[in-house]
Structure 1
Amino acid sequence: MVARSQWIPARRDMIWIGCNPQAGREMKDVHPLLVLSPREFNDRTGIVIGLPMTTASYNDTNPFAVPFAGPKGVISYMLAHQPKSFDWRARSAKRHPWGQVPEQTFELACETLNQIIQIGA
């Protein structure tokens, strides 16, 4: 029996994950993902639910892209209009060096997603 890694993505974590295969306007290749689902869920199911992130500056005018200033002023956008679920173990997800997004930024990303899906409305 192979022991699995101790690391498990947690809510508010930024992780690296492969988004392939993709179709249409979906993101492809390896990108950061803001984890929305709690650690317990991610561990038990092997699935992570989150919002893909990009540094593509054309998202500056996207009302569903939540900006986040990372280290050294790098602006990344959390794409609330593209929530994803991935098998994080099968896709060999890794910790992102930026760690977690601030609580306020996470809440804004969740509020933006809720404008689209209206959970609890």
Structure 2
Amino acid sequence: MVKEQYIPDRGDLVWIQFNPQSGHEQSGKRPALVLSPVTYNGKVGLALFCPVTSKAKGYPFEVVIPQDLPIEGVILSDQIKSLDWQSRQAKFICRVPKETLNEVLSKVDLLIH
């Protein structure tokens, strides 16, 4: 039996390796929110991610992860990274509620428009 490979999708929380990093970037293996759609991620092998930290500082671009999910912390919507999800071994954790995803996307929109 062939096991289907997981392809990250928009709204997924995944474990992924952020090293190497530089300066103020988040580092190490940590949870991250997937922003790009599965159609792009599967075709290109890259995906857009926002890292998660357990150390909330009250910054305006932090989005709190709902309490009923297996990961605690905040999504850093201003630290978007394009990463090779296969070589960095992305592992599915759970999906965030649509409201959480939309809040992150709204904050990203403020940065690019």
TM-score of the pair, normalised by structure 1? 0.84
1:115 lines up with 2:97 in the alignment: no
C-alpha separation between the residues in 2 aligned to 1:47 and 1:73? 25
1:91 lines up with 2:88 in the alignment: yes
- Give 2:27's aligned amino acid: K
Q: 1:86 to 1:73 in 2, by over 3 A?
A: closer
Q: CA RMSD in A?
A: 1.9
SS at match of 1:108: helix
1:77 lines up with 2:74 in the alignment: yes
C-alpha separation between the residues in 2 aligned to 1:73 and 1:4? 25
- Give 1:104's aligned amino acid: E
Q: Residues 56 and 62 of structure 2 are in contact (CA less than 8 Å); yes or no, is this contact kept in structure 1?
A: no
Q: Any unmatched runs of 5+ in structure 2?
A: none
1:103 lines up with 2:102 in the alignment: no
C-alpha separation between the residues in 1 aligned to 2:89 and 2:70? 28
- Give 1:116's aligned amino acid: L
Q: Greater Rg, structure 1 or structure 2?
A: 1
SS at match of 1:69: coil
Q: Residues 33 and 51 of structure 2 are in contact (CA less than 8 Å); yes or no, is this contact kept in structure 1?
A: yes
SS at match of 1:81: coil
Deviations 1:21-77 (A, max 9, x none): 00000001011110010001111111010211111132xx10011111233796421
C-alpha separation between the residues in 2 aligned to 1:74 and 1:100? 11
Q: Any unmatched runs of 5+ in structure 1?
A: none
* CA apart distance, 1:93: 1.1
Report the number of matched residues: 112
| Structural mapping, 1:1-121, within 5 Å | 5-58=4-57, 61-71=58-68, 75-96=72-93, 99-118=94-113
